[in-house]
């Protein structure tokens, strides 16, 4: 146990910018996913102040909210107090490294990278170069660390808890081992709104609107990474028949949707915004709604992982890995093009190349009948 505390206002603590590791620059696919994540979180940003009482204890039980945690005595008059929790199917010693390496331009915050890590993708592996946790270290929230733009490691007990703090806030994490080998990850944030400082007028609204969506995504990001790493260490038994069924169903559904996309492209290019195009559009829209409702993830991915797939995003369908990983980025411009093509046809007065029921049979067939 290391109970030592440091004062973040007295001299620069241990820096992290000289670590022999740096996050990779974002690829176009990374940027597309980050924009997608921010759009998905937009309703949560906008409604967070209205749902404040609910989200301040998101995922946490009454006992976890009432239990004491490190740092509770630092800011007794804090106006912002949240306790949130999540269950992770991995032991504490496999969850701990993901907390140790956090920070802007370190391993990231596993949240909306577009907003909190200069679009650099958060690490998806444990980085050995970032595992040397020390009291007094800075965990930057900005590319240029300072006492006000970094959390300082106040104290910790490895694999059990860690406390970070700034001059006006404390952020504690606790890892509780579960009987089934999993981890209950509990986090508590206390923040003081000092209205004598002009900067509070900026960051207080950021806390009220942004903390819940970002913290929710961070908790789920830690869970996703820790569980994926645990599956690589201790693979689930593969249910080959179930996994083959999931892949087959998903592949068949993918081909049917691609047929609808193809028809919409062809009908839009030829000016045929007909009833069939409407049915195809309804199928594609339904798929988009399901994808969006599941947090921009395919529901089949979770089913595949439960059947023993190590990485469901590419093993829940019979497609090349690159195609499976980049389907959203591939389809977005196609859907925009489809919308433009059919919008152009409708603006011109509907479907000029189709024959209405009132004109059936066509004049040529009428003349032949005579």
Model pLDDT for residues 29-47, shown as the tens digit of each residue:
788 889 989 998 999 999 9
Asked if 319 and 312 count as a contact pair (C-beta separation under 8 A), the reply is no
**Average pLDDT of the chain, as a whole number:** 85
pTM over 0.75: no
**H-helix segments, the chain:** 28-47, 52-55, 62-66, 92-100, 113-116, 200-233, 240-269, 275-293, 299-306, 312-315, 321-325, 327-347, 363-369
Asked if 98 and 190 count as a contact pair (C-beta separation under 8 A), the reply is no
Asked if 58 and 216 count as a contact pair (C-beta separation under 8 A), the reply is yes
What local confidence, expressed as pLDDT, does residue 20 receive?
62
Asked whether the predicted pLDDT for residue 22 surpasses 70, the reply is: yes
Of 69-73, 135-139, 185-189, 318-322, the range with the lowest mean pLDDT is: 318-322
What local confidence, expressed as pLDDT, does residue 83 receive?
98
Q: What topology does CATH give the domain 28-233?
A: Alpha-D-Glucose-1,6-Bisphosphate; Chain A, domain 4 (3.30.530)
What are 107-156's pLDDT values in tens digits? 999 999 999 888 999 999 999 999 999 999 999 988 887 777 889 999 99
- Ranges of each domain in the chain: 28-233, 240-351
Q: Which two tokens stand for residue 49?
A: 């102040």
Work out the pLDDT band at 302, boundaries 50, 70, 90. confident
Asked if 147 and 55 count as a contact pair (C-beta separation under 8 A), the reply is no
Q: Look-up: residue for tokens 């800011």? A: 75
What are 171-226's pLDDT values in tens digits? 999 999 999 999 999 999 999 998 888 888 888 999 999 999 999 999 999 999 99
The β-bridge partners of 139 are: 151
What local confidence, expressed as pLDDT, does residue 42 receive?
94
What are 275-292's pLDDT values in tens digits? 899 999 999 999 888 877
Asked if 185 and 173 count as a contact pair (C-beta separation under 8 A), the reply is yes
d(CA 164, CA 300): 38
Which of 24-28, 136-140, 321-325, 346-350 reaches the highest mean pLDDT?
A: 136-140
Work out the pLDDT band at 64, boundaries 50, 70, 90. very high
Asked whether the predicted pLDDT for residue 13 surpasses 70, the reply is: no
């Amino acid at each position: 146990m290391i109970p030592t505390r440091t004062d973040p206002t007295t001299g620069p603590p241990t820096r992290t910018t000289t670590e022999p590791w740096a996050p990779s620059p974002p690829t176009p696919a990374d940027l597309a996913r980050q924009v997608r994540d921010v759009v998905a979180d937009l309703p949560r940003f906008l409604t967070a102040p209205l749902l404040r009482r609910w989200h301040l204890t998101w995922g946490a039980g009454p006992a976890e909210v009432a239990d004491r945690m490190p740092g509770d005595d630092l800011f007794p008059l804090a106006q912002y107090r949240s306790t949130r929790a999540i269950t992770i199917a991995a032991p504490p010693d496999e969850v701990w490294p993901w907390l140790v390496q956090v920070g802007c331009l370190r391993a990231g915050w596993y949240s909306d990278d577009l907003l909190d890590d200069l679009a650099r993708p958060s690490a998806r592996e444990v980085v050995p170069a970032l595992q040397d946790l020390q009291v007094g270290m800075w965990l930057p929230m900005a590319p240029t660390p300072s006492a006000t733009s970094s959390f300082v490691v106040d104290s910790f007990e490895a694999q059990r808890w860690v406390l970070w703090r700034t001059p006006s806030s404390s952020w504690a994490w606790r890892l509780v081992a579960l009987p089934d080998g999993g981890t209950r990850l509990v986090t508590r944030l206390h923040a003081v709104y000092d209205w004598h400082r002009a900067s509070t007028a900026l960051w207080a609204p950021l806390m009220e609107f942004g903390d819940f969506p970002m913290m929710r995504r961070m908790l789920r990001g830690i869970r996703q990474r820790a569980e994926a790493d645990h599956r690589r260490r201790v693979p689930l038994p593969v249910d080959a028949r179930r996994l083959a069924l999931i892949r087959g169903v998903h592949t068949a559904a993918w081909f049917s949707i691609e047929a609808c996309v193809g028809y919409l492209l062809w009908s839009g290019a030829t000016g045929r915004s007909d009833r069939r195009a409407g049915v195809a559009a309804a199928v594609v829209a339904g798929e988009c709604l399901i994808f969006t409702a599941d947090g921009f993830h395919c529901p089949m991915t979770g089913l595949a992982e439960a059947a023993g797939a190590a990485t469901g995003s590419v093993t829940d369908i019979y497609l090349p890995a690159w195609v499976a990983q980049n389907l959203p980025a591939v389809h977005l411009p196609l859907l925009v093009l489809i919308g433009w093509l059919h919008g152009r046809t409708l603006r011109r007065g509907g479907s000029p190349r189709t024959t209405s029921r009132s004109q059936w049979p066509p004049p040529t067939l009428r003349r032949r009948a005579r």
